[in-house]
Amino acid sequence: MKIIFAGTPQFAASALDALLKEHQIVAVLTQPDRPAGRGMQLTASPVKQLALQHGLPVLQPATLKTEEAQREIAALGADVMVVAAYGLILPKAVLQLPRYGCLNIHASLLPRWRGAAPIQRAILAGDAETGITIMQMDEGLDTGDMLLRHACPITPTDTAATLHDKLAELGASSIVEALRLLQESSLNPVKQDDAAATYAAKLLKSEGQIDWRLDALHIERAVRAFNPFPACAAGFNDATIKVWQVALVQGAHSEPGRVLAVDKQGITVACGKDALRLEVLQRPGGKAQPASQFLQAVPVKAGDRFS
């Protein structure tokens, strides 16, 4: 089959890499190059970098709503478009161009966690599992018919980073399977139950600020959900300290934010319910460190307070 691939980040690049082994990719759509890194130099997306390595035509329109962009896509004569974390809205005119329409690789078990941040929201909610849904795209936000679903457990130590990598691999194998079933006319579309839908709102940087008045369990999930972005952080002696790894300490209680104990394993801080042992931390300008190393640079004692 002749496929147009539309995607931008590494999650999408994993799927493109799998498709390249089995299908003809006639063109790749990805977002325009963006400033990145300390020098803020224009940088190609992971999808563009992979496409160029394989000599594929790359299109980077700022929008797909123009007639020019739509003519360019129509001229490719694709059987299907595969979309994964592309980042641009596909208008109805584009959705209807390929023979089999547009298939989306979504990182949740729809209809749960429609929207921009399904991986992080699943961890934050304490879900036991998530997964990949291959969906026939329509004009709504992740509302199309489900063609294939595969579950993936969320372990107690999963961060957004580790779960992202698991789902990227699962998404890649799932879209290869879905296209094989499509060629065999064996896909059975299933309508989503809108009443069961939840929304995975885009991440805000402000969500990373730890509120010690919350339950320790909620904060523990946030630390994992917001790793690597936006990263959880707390104030200590007028400095912002990033918190990368914590452990739940049940039964301990005091004023939220108060340091209860300090040892080589970590810094135990009281929360609204229970407490957390901060095990990996990062001070401004420094690297993430185990608590034992962090404490050599930043003295912390019982009775001190994190804000």
- In degrees and rounded to multiples of 5, residue 187 shows phi and psi of -80, 135
Cα separation, 262 vs 267, whole angstroms: 5
The answer to whether 108 is a known ligand-binding residue is yes
The answer to whether 217 is a known ligand-binding residue is no
Amino acid letter for position 58: V
Query: Exposed, middle or buried: residue 64 (CB in 10 Å: 0-12, 13-18, 19+)?
Result: buried
Pairing of strands 24-29, 34-36: unpaired
DSSP string of 156-216, one letter each residue: TT--HHHHHHHHHHHHHHHHHHHHHHHHTT----B---GGG--EEPPP-GGGGB--TTSBH
The answer to whether 14 is a known ligand-binding residue is no
What is the number of H-type helices and E-type strands within the chain? 8, 17
Pairing of strands 34-36, 114-115: unpaired
The answer to whether 109 is a known ligand-binding residue is yes
Q: Which long-range contacts (CB under 8 A, 24 or more apart) does 43-49 make?
A: 45/8, 45/9, 46/8, 46/9, 46/10, 46/12, 46/13, 47/5, 47/7, 47/8, 47/9, 47/12, 47/13, 47/16, 49/13
Binding-site residues for (6S)-5,6,7,8-tetrahydrofolate, in ranges, read 108-111
Binding-site residues, in ranges, read 108-111
